[in-house]
Structure 1
Amino acid sequence: MSTSLLRKIIHVDMDAFFAAVEMRDNPKLAQVPLAVGGASERRGVISTCNYQARQFGVRSAMPTATALRRCPKLVVVPGRMERYREVSSQLREILSRYSDVIEPLSLDEAFLDVSDTTQFQGSATLIAQAIRQDIKTELGLTASAGVAPLKFLAKIASDIHKPDGLTVIQPSEVESFIEELELNKIAGVGPVTWERLQALGFRRGCDIRASDEASLTSALGKFGKVLWQRCQGIDERAISPYRERKSVGVERTFSVNLNSLEQVIKAYEDVILPEFTRRSKSYFESNQVNRIGIKIKFSDFSQTTKDQAMRSLNHEVLLKLLSAAYQRGSGLGVRLIGVHCGLDRLQPTGVAEQLPLFD
């Protein structure tokens, strides 16, 4: 088992954050199925929803129209990102009282390393309890937390007793917890990988622990090695206050289907490209492009991506990728277009040349 078992890591995850802020700010919304998202007539999607709505099968990333069919009394409100950022800043202030080593994952969740914290005699469990109480008292919101010596286990633990729960995995419990852990709970095991693992006879941590690293790597590539290590109780990743941006992108869902390549190109150039240009500029001061790509979602909700290794954002290449992606739809209308690029951190020496936005 890993020497990192000596660490004390807390993962704090706000409960239904956007929806919870809306319910707190408008008590009339507190007792109704509520979702934050776009309007159904504009092909919006659900960003998040409260737990009343989840009982009807409403979920994040679900089209608003589908959510309303599942829950006709669902109240859908538009998001208020500035408000959520304001509350997130208040959350960060609370977390900073207990540790200087904080890794935000998003507006509503973060890791803390409290290994060297002396408050509460160094008890990570008591620190997590104090954090959750501060959030409830000062913000009027609830959070769930997971405590574990390994980073990936702390995140899994925070989800076990949601909402408003706390789960602690002691160092002595790590091995038995992993033995019974279903592999689809581990970050990186998405639906496709989960199906592949089951086909190979792997369902729980004990199955991976009984396998060998080489065969798992052969079957799953680099992630096979990561998964094998996780199931051996190895996760040496530090809590990093500064997270490198690995990619930047923009996508837009259109209220009316785009039914020709000409319409798709015009929407890309008039709507997607200006926003992508604005959003991405700031990242090129410290990053180098390594890959560019296009995403298209068709009228039947199938989607495809086309990308290419590049060292610059080449407009002509993106148009070719866009055309190739569109052809895969065999005439289907297009409801969403996205563009993205992968990023590499520039070397401190400045060896990598700063490229213009489009060559």
Structure 2
Amino acid sequence: MYFHIDLDAFFASVEQVDQPELLGKPLVVGALPGNRGVVSTCSYAARRFGIHSAMPISEAWRRCPQAVFLPVRMARYDEVSRVVMRIFESFTPDVLQVSIDEASLDMVGTEALWGGAAAAAARIKAAILEQTGLTISIGIAANRYVAKLACGLRKPDGLVLVEPGQEAAFMLSLRLADLWGAGAKTQQRFAELGIRTMKDLAAYNQALMQSLFGKAGGQFLYLAARGQDPGIYGHESARKSIGTELTFEEDSEDRELLEQAILDMCQQLCLRLFQDQKGACGVQVKLRYHDFVTLTVQASQPSVYSCLDEICKAATGLFHAKWNGHAVRLIGVSLFNFSTEARQAELFGGATERAGALDKTVFALQQRGLGKMTRARLLKRPSDKDKPPAPD
């Protein structure tokens, strides 16, 4: 069985653990009001106002000006994430970390140690709560995709178990809106075709599905509607790379916003390199359009990238090499081909010594909890039409 585990409102929950006076309050973590940027995550109290991740911060402010807005403290979240992943690894050696707050665990063969699926899930929940103060939601199924869908059904602190052989029946119980990977434009296409339920979708054969949604999109939907894994994690080589990605609530063709997202992700990944004292020789960029077409492009060099600017320049160049100007649903950046043998001077130094020294200073301050240190481009002022009103 696979356990898909998601930390509930992770960034916001960490802030609430560190500052208990924020419990129960609308809390938004991301860009600050008056700056251009998006919501990284928000508390469940903020979600009641319609705020969600990847929403422009100006819109979040408009919906809930009384919310507490905090900047992202990536070093702190990464620290907690590492603790959580180590706890997962104490239950099974097969942990696929999907993102900083999400993992897929293969629990096959652990029954003698932890009991059945429900008992093992209860043990994991208790361990996370005791050691971090955080709650998690768990979906359990015979494949990773159904486990992921199950995970999102009863958040926060949820547990949903789909018994083996019940995957197709489980899918029929869902709404079309619950179908992970089917965004707003796909949902609109469903409506145009008269597809109103999962039963309607499952009635389409593979050939018809691909003719309507494209080869990749049709194949994905055909398998997903039947409770089969469409291979959402590819060849599962996450241990050989580190990466992060952002899914936009609404597809975006805003070049400036996309480039800022790349810079933000590169900064997160460089902090990981700094903490691990290793370098990366390879960069990969992933793009997904509204029709499920997913493109990846990568480049590598003989020596490690020596600073954030080098990595960001490489990632941005790869992005523009593949981007056709159409609206993007998802964008991601990964680093690979690691080296731990490079001289310390080459890591965030070397030929770009001045830039590398700046990176070292910023990352060191972030490690000490001063998460407000970041690149000025990530704090770029919005236009007047995007700028929220000043607080009273």
Bucket of the pairwise TM-score, normalised by the shorter protein: 0.5 to 0.7
Q: Rg: which structure is higher?
A: 1
Structure 1 counterpart of 2:225: 231
Q: 1:5-41 CA distances to partner (integer Å, 9 max, x unpaired)?
A: xxx0101101110010001101121232111111112
Q: Partner residue of 1:171?
A: 164
Aligned partner letter, 1:223: G
**Counterpart amino acid of residue 92 in structure 1:** M
8 Å contact kept, 1:38–1:78 = yes
Separation in 1, partners of 2:299, 2:42: 40
Is 1:240 aligned to 2:233, yes or no?
A: no
The CA distance in 1 between the partners of 2:229 and 2:155, in whole Å, is 24
Q: Cα–Cα, structure 1 residues 315 and 31, in superposed 2: closer, same or farther, change >3 Å? A: closer
Q: Give the structure-2-normalised TM-score.
A: 0.63
Matched, 1:190 2:183: yes
Worse overlay, 25-34 or 160-169? 25-34
- Alignment check: 8 A CA contact 1:146 1:154 kept: yes
Corresponding residue SS for 1:194: helix
Q: Which residue does the alignment assign to 1:76?
A: 69
Q: Is the 8 A contact 2:283 2:315 kept in 1?
A: no
State the 1:67 CA deviation.
1.6
CA distance in 2, matches of 1:36, 1:81: 11
The 5-angstrom pairing of residues 5-154 of structure 1 reads 8-119=1-112, 122-154=115-147
Q: CA separation of 1:320/1:139 partners in 2, compared to 1, >3 Å: closer, same or farther?
A: closer
Could you tell me how far apart the structure 2 residues matched to 1:37 and 1:204 are? 35
Is the CA contact 2:298–2:318 (under 8 Å) kept in the aligned structure 1?
no
1:319-330 paired onto structure 2 within 5 Å = none
Distance 1:315 1:104 in 2: 25
Question: How far apart, CA to CA, are the structure 2 residues paired with 1:104 and 1:314?
Answer: 22
Q: Is the 8 A contact 2:146 2:229 kept in 1?
A: no
Classify the secondary structure of the residue corresponding to 1:138: helix
Partner residue, 1:349: none
Give the match for residue 209 of structure 1: 202
CA, structure 1 residues 224+276, in 2 after alignment: closer, same or farther (shift >3 Å)?
closer
After TM superposition, give the deviation of residue 185 of structure 1 in Å: 2.2
**SS in structure 2 at match of 1:175:** helix
Alpha-carbon distance between aligned partners in 2 of 1:247 and 1:121, rounded to the nearest angstrom: 31
Gaps of at least 5 residues in structure 1 are 1-7, 251-263, 294-306, 329-339, 347-359
CA contact (8 A) 2:137 2:154 kept: yes
How far residue 226 of structure 1 moved from its aligned partner, in angstroms, is: 2.1
* Secondary structure of 1:189 counterpart: coil
CA, structure 1 residues 182+246, in 2 after alignment: closer, same or farther (shift >3 Å)?
Answer: farther
TM-score scaled to structure 1, two decimals? 0.68
Residue 5 of structure 2 contacts residue 139 of structure 2 at CA under 8 Å; is this kept in 1? yes
Q: Secondary structure of 1:146's match? A: strand
Q: Contact conserved, 1:184 with 1:194, CA < 8 A, in 2?
A: yes
State the aligned residue count.
294
- CA positional deviation for 1:50: 0.6
Alignment of 1:278-317 (within 5 A): 285-286=281-282
Q: Aligned equivalents of 2:86 and 2:189: distance in 1?
A: 42
Distance 1:308 1:134, change over 3 A: closer
By relative contact order (CA 8 Å, sep 6+), the higher-ranking structure is 2
Aligned to 2:238, the other structure's residue is in SS state coil
Q: CA deviation at 1:107?
A: 0.8
Report the Cα offset of residue 72 of structure 1: 2.2
Q: Which amino acid aligns with 1:25?
A: D
Q: How much does 1:116 deviate?
A: 1.6
RMSD: 4.3
Please name the residue that 1:331 is paired with: none
Alignment deviations for residues 197-241 of structure 1 (CA, whole Å, 9 cap, x no partner) = 222222333223222111111111122122112222322748836
Q: Verify the 8 A CA contact 1:37 1:47 in the aligned structure 2.
A: yes
2:380 corresponding residue in structure 1: none
Match of 1:131, SS state, is: helix
Cα distance in 1, alignment partners of residues 332 and 24 from structure 2: 42
Amino acid at match of 1:234: Q
- Whether the 8 Å CA contact 1:216–1:224 is kept in 2: the answer is yes
| Cα distance, 1:231–1:244 mapped onto 2, change above 3 Å | farther
Q: State the one-letter code of the partner of 1:232.
A: R
Structure 1 CA distance, aligned partners of 2:296 and 2:7?
37
